A and B are shown apart, each in its own frame.
Chain A
């Protein structure tokens, strides 16, 4: 490797990592947190069969799972200004990622809720608890335990998907790498470098997932 290339890689490393820590990670964390709120709400209205809300949830999931994430970003950031709705790049990205991820995770949470045996809800009723109390204390905790591995999967996928925000001018890791490349023109080295930093982030999340699963494994789920 030439010393120039080495110099570029070393020099660019913090310039890519810092937007990673200050933009990619907050973008992922905020969007995913909102996505979880949306997912649990959408899963619950379907599970509880709330008329009207259930159909609304199905419609929302249909739209956001059925169209490309990139298209959704463009509609919100470049399209909505036509209707007078203008957003800064970062909040626009948060909005789209949260809605998109929420649609996928809603299905994960719904499947997990349905996998909790009916007897758990009946047992909750029989000790005198209401539907809401039983959901909150018995059913949802068990469902979230089951949903934890697939939801971790979604989170890891999302870290990488945030690179699409570069297309709506959010200067996250990938756009930072692009900007450096525009001045030094070393695409192979720089794009591999940014790829490795994504790999680093994903690896850390994989460890966190393992630790989380161990912690949650205090009780096993068993069929009775």
Chain B
């Protein structure tokens, strides 16, 4: 469904992505893990054209794009097939929870308001936020804001959802509510690419795990392959670091 070939990106003299290839099939839940500064977030942002890659090709639904020069028009068209969940939620601060969800439907997709609100209410219900539909973002907790952001992402029925460290800004007791919503989406067959530090999620929910370091993919495979039998020494080192001495991963 989605294929990335040889994507490169530099910020000044700093090379953040050194030729990354990635394939995502329909229904995949790909977890991208790796140390801070490994280029995970940049990869995700390049895929949704929030950053312009230095070079690289993306094939989306059989359509080929040169990531270094996607036109503004193509970018809007591509983004209407995808959704993005940010680490810092980025809910529209001047819109209620419901309006946050309807905005993309009404403005970008020209959907009639009543239909958009019906879809938005279903999406909010799905993430357990229907009772807060009329609240503004500042009236919601971080976990609640992120659930509204997920409702905003699923409402247009995108082909793929990108998650950029969706629980990293949350207090530990609030990550569970967001992860369980994401788990539900995965079970429903949503195609997802998730940059995450939650090893429990990567291990128990994803269908594929990609380990990145220093702007490149070191190793990828099923959660079992990667967590039980990592082949690369760098993967082994990383997993030891995040597991800690007890050798356990948090359950989700």
**A interface, CB within 8 angstroms of B:** 117, 119-120, 122-131, 133, 137-138, 141-142, 145, 218-222, 224
Contacts and interface: CB of A to CB of B under 8 A. Distances in A.
A220 B50 CA distance: 27
27 contacts: A119-B86, A119-B88, A120-B93, A122-B50, A122-B86, A122-B90, A123-B90, A123-B92, A125-B49, A126-B79, A127-B79, A128-B76, A128-B79, A128-B80, A129-B76, A129-B103, A129-B108, A145-B94, A218-B136, A219-B94, A219-B95, A219-B136, A220-B93, A220-B138, A221-B93, A222-B93, A224-B89
A120 B86 CA distance: 11
B83 A126 contact: yes
A97 B14 CA distance: 50
B156 interface: yes
A130 B80 CA distance: 10
A144 to B, nearest CB: 10
Interface size class of B (residues with CB under 8 A): 20 to 34
B103 A137 contact: yes
Interface string B46-83: 00111000000000000000000000100110011011
A82 B197 CA distance: 73
Contacts of A142: 93-94
Kindly list the 6 A-B residue pairs having the minimum CB-CB distance in the complex, ordered from nearest: A127-B104, A128-B108, A128-B80, A126-B84, A119-B90, A123-B90
B109 A128 contact: yes
A116 to B, nearest CB: 8
A125 B45 CA distance: 12
Interface majority SS (helix, strand, loop, mixed), chain A: helix
B107 interface: yes
Most buried by B among A126, A130, A137: A126
A120 to B, nearest CB: 6
Given A126-B48, A128-B108, A129-B104, A141 B86 contact: no
B138 A219 contact: yes
A138 B80 contact: no
A126 B89 CA distance: 12
Contact of A219 (B76, B82, B93, B109): B93
Nearest to B82: A126
B152 interface: yes
A47 B34 CA distance: 36
A130 B49 CA distance: 13
Contacts of B50: 122, 125-126
B235 to A, nearest CB: 31
Nearest to B145: A224
B103 A127 contact: yes
A123 B94 CA distance: 13
Most buried by A among B89, B92, B109, B137: B92
B91 interface: yes
A145 B93 CA distance: 11
B94 A141 contact: yes
A115 B32 CA distance: 32
Nearest to B158: A128
A138 to B, nearest CB: 5
Nearest to A125: B79
A120 B92 contact: yes
A133 B105 CA distance: 12
A222 B139 CA distance: 10
A119 to B, nearest CB: 4
Nearest to A221: B93
Contacts of A138: 92, 94-95, 103
Nearest to B92: A138
A117 to B, nearest CB: 8
